[in-house]
Structures are given as structure tokens and as C-alpha cells.
Amino acid sequence: MPAAFQAEFADKGILKIVFDYQERSVNLLNEATLTELDGLITELADSAEIRAAYVVSGKADNFCAGAEVAEIRKISSQEDAFKKSRIGQQLFQRWSQLPFPTLLVIDGSCMGGATEWALASTFRFCGDRREVGIGLPEIKLGVIPGWGGSVRLPNLIGLRNALKMILTGDAVTGPKAYRMGLVDKLVPASILDDSALRFLRDILENGDKKVLQRRRQVRGRRGFLETSIIGRNLVQRRAYKEVSKRTRLEYPAPFEAIKTVKFGRENDLEDALMYEARKFAVLAASKVSRNLVRTWFLIDRSRKMRGVGNEVREAAKTPIEKVGIFGAGTVGGAIAVMCGEADIPVRLKDVQHDPLAKTIERARDRFQERIAGRKLSEREAELKADRISPTTDDSGFSRVDLLIEATQEDAGIKEDALHSGDRLTPEKTIVATTSSTYGVDALARHVRQPHLFAGIHLPTPVNNNPIVEIVKGVNTSPQTLATLFQLALNWKKFPIVVKDKPGYLVNRLLMPYLSEAMTILSSGVQVEHIDLAMQQFGFEQGPLRFLDEMGLDIAMRIFNAVQKEYPARFPENETLFAMLNYQRAGRKSGKGFYEYHPYKKPAVRRKLYKELQIKSNKHMPVLEIQERLLYVMINEAAYCLQEGIVPHSEDVDLASIFSIGFPPFHGGLLGYADSEGIEKIAGRLRIFAESLDERQRYLPSPYLIRMVESGKLFYSRQMPQPSEVPQNL
């Protein structure tokens, strides 16, 4: 195995270490590289020739992605976590105590453990490229930086900056890192290597006065809040309050992070590191962190196209250089905006100008937000919006690589659109429909090449739902699926390939959940009570509020489509009818289950119960509400797996977290089901079936019964194959 670290003298006494981990496309700190680094440090410490050393990365846009997440996942207990934290801490401690100055040259992304390494170095440089990002994303995995980062960062960049970096987990850009004193120099990328050498020579000849002076200057700018004990206490209290407001108590990491930072400021290094390791251990071994790590792997799995089968993953993807869209309605418009954002030119056709204007306006608004968030400059945002080229005629489609049919849900219109698509686009163009009512296979006879035809479904809310469902028809080719999958990734979405059946995946999961909420409502339980029960479970919004946001008319349409296919499990939903009868279509119409006013909090009025003819005096235990809503959803997920809507439980979990708002700290719907126990779930469902009307709705699915009989779990049935184990960060 070639070494990950190559050291050679770049000049007399100045050692250059190149970090290039051959096994992966990015550098990682895992058992192998850490052991090697350990050996290297020992060697360096013994050498008499070395007067200074600097580290660069051998990868193009990456310095090091930090600790390997798979190793975090392997943590078995608190003791194990503590040990791992101590090993890293001691390693970097030894690095910081080398008898000569060290310099880390960061010209790419530098995350987690790597940032902690940088903090333990004497000096840090970074390149001025856009690819440079320095961050401590541990909080996103439910832990805190555990290799000395929680202690060293505040010492270097001050309390407020450090807390912000650790609590948000967001990376900072090169210029920002320089401003806050995280790096000592910001250097044009092209001369990084040379200037690192020159810098070290200068240090050896003239000492480090200048650098320390700058650090003092930056520190001096921080003022009273940072320099005095009272100020620091104020900052900490503020941070605690802020975090309490934003974070649910289920996530302990932010609170522990604040405590660790505080402890680090008040105690000496060794004690602080010990404290950090203990805190890290408790968090890393907790269920919450495990579930967040799981969620991370779900995302990673989607990004790397695992779980779609080899045939699709390895299929040749058509590069999408131009997209054509028919129909600038909600869905067509949303797709146009996503394409613009991904810098893909779009020809957007509609029969009228108004929806085109609306789409362009929406794109401008969206990119304006990104300007406000400093993600884009004004001109860059403008250029993205300019990628959307609106038209009411047929021109501009002769060179599209992908045509998306997003016209109204009307058989005749769709048929015409697909025919004219065939006429206007070249042979090789992939065609996709966004129809949720007419399936891909039903429409496939109107396209000339069914193997180049598939569906794209954006679950509601279409404009910011992270999930994109890619609908596979009987004839859809792997190349077509792979191309659309990649496109969805370019849109920064998580694609899921689903089978062509009404409701696909997301709506299949959503409908039983939402209609069960309405059933409980009509049995006399109050709206707030139902919503609160689910919020207590961890959902951001209760199901009825979710319905309001989604729009009840849209819910009705989806419900009807699903009902037609599965009438036994989805009987007529009278509440939904009644709601629409009273013009309660949800937030957009001013009232749904709640009533909305521009300046008031949404509230439920008595009139709602009168209109729905509900007494609203029944009490139902919170646990029962949670069980009914979640278990019918789990049951439906089992049906989906049985029908092969999606092949893997991971797909269901990804969809449940990102499209339905299932709390990630529970680890996804089916991960949660496993931890609850399949037998318990099936048993409760049977009890519901016996005690409630419409027993068909609750009966456990054959799939679930089989699982109980064979004693299997959603995740044991398909223990990840070695090749399927996601590996790096």
C-alpha cells in the first residue's frame, strides 16, 4: 500500500509533507492514515535536521475531509468513543509539541478532524479559491469536535466566532477564515507552495514576530465581549438561549458544545481536552448521534447512486446541456428554476405569458435569497436567472438533451405535448413527464422511444422539497434513469427511483398518515392536540398544519389517485370533502384547519368543528395518536416494499426524513420501526383493526406479518453487502 504521507526536503531544513491518500478520491483521517501520521510524527520528533515542516494536499480540491464517518459509526460504546477521542487528541498534541514550527497549507475543503489538526499546527495558510472551506461539521452528526477542536478553536478565533462555527457546522471561506484569524495568510492558490516555503524561511531567519503581531491585532478587534470574563459569560449565556430557541432538546450536542467551549476557556489544556473527550464519548455513543450518522449515510448513499443497482449506476449518462420544458405551471416552473440554479439553459414554453413571468420572477426571488445569504454575487444570480428562456412558440427546442412535459393534468393536452415534443426535438432527446395522474407506462405509447422516457415527480411542496422521485416505466432504460438521477443530483436534490404506481413513494407514505390524522380529528380530538402530539414526537409541523401548507385541494387530488388504486385502505375521506366545501383549502386560501392572518399566529376557530360537525371533546392519549399515525405509515411502507415501489428500506427512510419531515434523530421511519419492534407494531395494528371502523385500513400487511413470523427487521433482511457499505465522507 502506498503511503498517504510523502515527506521530502523542499529546502535546507524545511520538510514538505504531501498528504495524498491513494485509496480514496479525498483525504481522510481513518485508522490507516492516523497510524501512518503517528509513525511520521515519531520520526519527525527524532530528526535533528528538520527546522520546519509544512503539509500540503495531493488532491485537487480537497485538503482533507476529516474523520471517516464509517469509523464514527463503528463506535460501540462510550468507552470506545472516549478512547478514539483520546487517541486523536494525543496525536495532535504531539504534533503541536514538535520541536520545530509546522504549517498546514489548506487549498480545498478542510473538515472536522482535519481542521482540528490545522488548529494544532503552529501556522495555517489557505488558498484564495472558492473551493476552500474550513469547517467543523461534527454537530450535524450529533457530536462535538473531539480531537481538541472545541478547545483550540475559541483560543484562536475568539468565543463568538468559534461558537458560530461549531454550532452551525458550516464551513467558512478562505477570506472569512483570514479575517477571523483562523488562518495566518490568504494566498493566491497558484503560488501557495512557493509562499509556504518563503514564509518558513522568513520565520527561521527573522522569527515569528509579524505573524504573532497580526494575531494580536485580530484578537484586539474582538473587544469587551471577548476579552473580559463578564463579556465571555454574556456571550455564552446568549448562545445558550439562542440554541434553546432553535434546537429541540432531543439534540444535546449544541448544548454540550457550549459547555465544552466554556470549560476550555477556563481550564488548562490537558483538563480541557479530557473534558472534551468525555463529552464527545457520551454524545457519540448516544442514539441521537447514531441516527444522525445514519441519516448522513442515507444522503451519501443517494449522492453516490448506491442502491439503484449496478446497471443504472454504471450506465452511461447523457450530459444535459440544455433542457426544454412544456408548461410553466408550479412544477414546470420549479424545474426551470432548479435548472437555472444549476446553470443549465432552459427553453420554457407555455401557451400564456403570465406563468412564464411568474416563473422568472420566482427564479429572481430565489436567487435574491442566495445573494442575501452571500452564496452568490448579484451578477452571478442574474446570470442564473438569465438561463431561463421563456417562449410561447415552438422555437428553441431543436437542441435540447432533455424535454420535460409539465403541462396540465389532462390526457389530451399531455398527448399533444408529447407528440409535438417528438416533432421538435432530436432523436436522442430524453423525454420525461411530471404527470402524477397518468403513469409513465400509460403515456409511453405517445412517445417515439419508450426507452428514453421516464417520469420526474416533485413531491409537494415542489419548490423546496429535497426529494425528487424518478419514475421508472416498464421500458425505461438504465441510461435514462442514470441521466435523470444525475440531473437531480445537479439540482442538489436527493433522487429516489420509484416504480410507476399511483402515489409513487412519498405520497403513498403521506396519505395514510394525513388521512389518519383527519380520522382522529373527526372522532372528536382537537386539531392542536393532534399536531402537538406529532410535534412532541419530533416533527417540525403537525399533520394537519402540514395539510394546510400543502393545500387541501392538492391533498384531495393525490388522495383520489391513491384511493383509486387501493380502495380498501383508502376509503372516502369525508373530512377532506367537507373542508373543501367550506373553502378551507389551506394556507393559500387564508384558512384550512387553522385560520391565517398576516399579523397573527395561525389559530383554530370553533367554527371549524361546527362546519365539520365534530364535537371536539374527546381526549386521546398522546402516545395513541403517535402510534396510530406512525404505524399506518409504517404499514404502508411495508406495502410499498412488497410491491417493489422502491427496493430498499433506505429509500423509505430518506423520503420520510426529507419529504415528510420525519425527525432525523429517530433515524428514519423504518429505522424507527425496527427500534420499536415489528411485532409490537403488527400487534397494535391488529388491535386498531379490531377496535376501529374500516378495519382494512389497519390490518398489518402480509409483508409485515411475514417479517414478524421470520423474526426479521427492515434492516436485517438486507444487511449491507460489503460493496454497499458507504465508506467515506
Partner 1 sequence: MSKEVVIVDGIRTPFCKIGGALKGVSAYNLGKVVVRELLERTELPAQEVDELVVGNFLQTLDATNVARAIARKAGIPPEIPAYTVQRYGGSGMQAITSAFLSIRNGNIATAIAAGAESISNYPLLFQDRFSDWYEQYQAAPGWLGRMRQLSRFSLSALKPAPAVETTMLDYVDRKSIGESSEVWANRHHINREAQDQYAALSHRRAVLAVESGLIADEVAPVFPQGEKTAVLNDDSIRRGQAFDVIKDMPPLFDADFGRVTAGNSAPLCDGAASLLLMTASRARTLGMSPLATIRGFAYVGVAPSDTAIGPAFAAVRALENANMSFSDIQLCELHESTSAVVLANEQVFANKDFVEATFGKSSVLGAIPRNRLNVNGGAISLGHSFGASGVRMVMSLMREMDRRNRSTGLAMMAIAGGQAGAIVLERR
CA distance 497 to 308: 7
213 CB contacts (<8 Å, ≥6 apart)?
A: none
**13 Cα distance to chain centroid:** 46
Among the residue ranges 129-137, 138-146, 188-196, 379-387, the one whose residues contact partner 1 (CB under 8 A)? 379-387
360 binds partner 1 (CB under 8 A): yes
Q: Which is nearer to partner 1, 346 or 681 (CB)?
A: 346
Among the residue ranges 310-318, 354-362, 493-501, 590-598, the one whose residues contact partner 1 (CB under 8 A)? 354-362
Q: Which is nearer to partner 1, 145 or 421 (CB)?
A: 421
Q: Which is nearer to partner 1, 97 or 398 (CB)?
A: 398
Tell me how far, at minimum, the Cβ of 334 lies from partner 1, in Å. 17
CA atoms within 13 A on the CB side of 121: 22
Q: Which is nearer to partner 1, 352 or 613 (CB)?
A: 352
Q: Which is nearer to partner 1, 347 or 499 (CB)?
A: 347
Cell numbers placing 334:
420549479
83 CB contacts (<8 Å, ≥6 apart)?
A: none
Tell me how far, at minimum, the Cβ of 377 lies from partner 1, in Å. 13
Q: Which of 61, 131, 382, 595 binds partner 1 (CB under 8 A)?
A: 382
Q: Which of 8, 23, 43, 138 is catalytic?
A: 138
Q: Which of 217, 395, 583, 716 binds partner 1 (CB under 8 A)?
A: 395
Q: Is 138 an active-site residue?
A: yes
SS3 assignment, position 209: helix
Among the residue ranges 30-38, 360-368, 585-593, 668-676, the one whose residues contact partner 1 (CB under 8 A)? 360-368
384 binds partner 1 (CB under 8 A): no
- Calculated CA dihedral for residues 513, 516, 522, 525, nearest 10 degrees: -80
Q: Which of 68, 116, 226, 627 is catalytic?
A: 116
Tell me how far, at minimum, the Cβ of 326 lies from partner 1, in Å. 15
399 binds partner 1 (CB under 8 A): yes
97 binds partner 1 (CB under 8 A): no
CA distance 434 to 440: 9
Q: Which of 383, 413, 580, 620 binds partner 1 (CB under 8 A)?
A: 383
CA distance 419 to 414: 9
The sign of the CA dihedral 712, 715, 718, 722 is negative
358 binds partner 1 (CB under 8 A): yes
357 binds partner 1 (CB under 8 A): yes
Q: Which is nearer to partner 1, 19 or 367 (CB)?
A: 367
Cell numbers placing 583:
373553502
Tell me how far, at minimum, the Cβ of 527 lies from partner 1, in Å. 35
**Cell 486523536 belongs to residue:** 88
Q: Which is nearer to partner 1, 399 or 597 (CB)?
A: 399
347 binds partner 1 (CB under 8 A): yes
CA distance 31 to 44: 20
Task: Answer whether 71's CB lies under 8 Å from 30's CB.
Answer: yes
- Category of 683 on φ-ψ map: left (φ > 0), alpha (ψ -120 to 50) or beta: alpha
Tell me how far, at minimum, the Cβ of 365 lies from partner 1, in Å. 10
177 CB contacts (<8 Å, ≥6 apart)?
A: 126, 132, 134, 183, 186
Q: Is 136 exposed, middle or buried (0-12, 13-18, 19+ CB in 10 A)?
A: buried
Q: Which of 35, 190, 310, 392 binds partner 1 (CB under 8 A)?
A: 392
CA distance 302 to 615: 46
Report the DSSP beta bridge partners of residue 125: 105, 185
The H or E element containing residue 154 is helix 149-157
CA distance 348 to 340: 11
330 binds partner 1 (CB under 8 A): no
Q: Which among 540, 537, 502 is positioned nearest to 639, based on CA atoms?
A: 502
Cell numbers placing 424:
421538435
Q: Is 116 an active-site residue?
A: yes
Tell me how far, at minimum, the Cβ of 354 lies from partner 1, in Å. 5
Q: Which of 79, 386, 574, 693 binds partner 1 (CB under 8 A)?
A: 386
Q: Which of 124, 366, 387, 508 binds partner 1 (CB under 8 A)?
A: 387
CA atoms within 13 A on the CB side of 210: 10
Q: Which is nearer to partner 1, 357 or 411 (CB)?
A: 357
Strand 185-187, strand 430-433: pairing: unpaired
Q: Could you tell me how many residues make up the chain?
A: 729
Tell me how far, at minimum, the Cβ of 375 lies from partner 1, in Å. 20
Helices and strands (H and E) in the chain: how many: 32, 20
Cell numbers placing 310:
449496478
Tell me how far, at minimum, the Cβ of 400 lies from partner 1, in Å. 11
Cell numbers placing 381:
444570480
356 binds partner 1 (CB under 8 A): yes
Task: Answer whether 332's CB lies under 8 Å from 338's CB.
Answer: no
Q: Which is nearer to partner 1, 190 or 395 (CB)?
A: 395
Q: Which of 364, 451, 529, 588 binds partner 1 (CB under 8 A)?
A: 364
Among the residue ranges 290-298, 395-403, 473-481, 538-546, the one whose residues contact partner 1 (CB under 8 A)? 395-403
Tell me how far, at minimum, the Cβ of 371 lies from partner 1, in Å. 14
Q: Which is nearer to partner 1, 110 or 344 (CB)?
A: 344
**Residues of the shown chain interacting with partner 1 in the complex, contacts defined by CB under 8 A:** 345, 347, 353-354, 356-358, 360-361, 364, 382-383, 386-387, 389-393, 395-396, 398-399
Residues with catalytic annotation?
116, 138
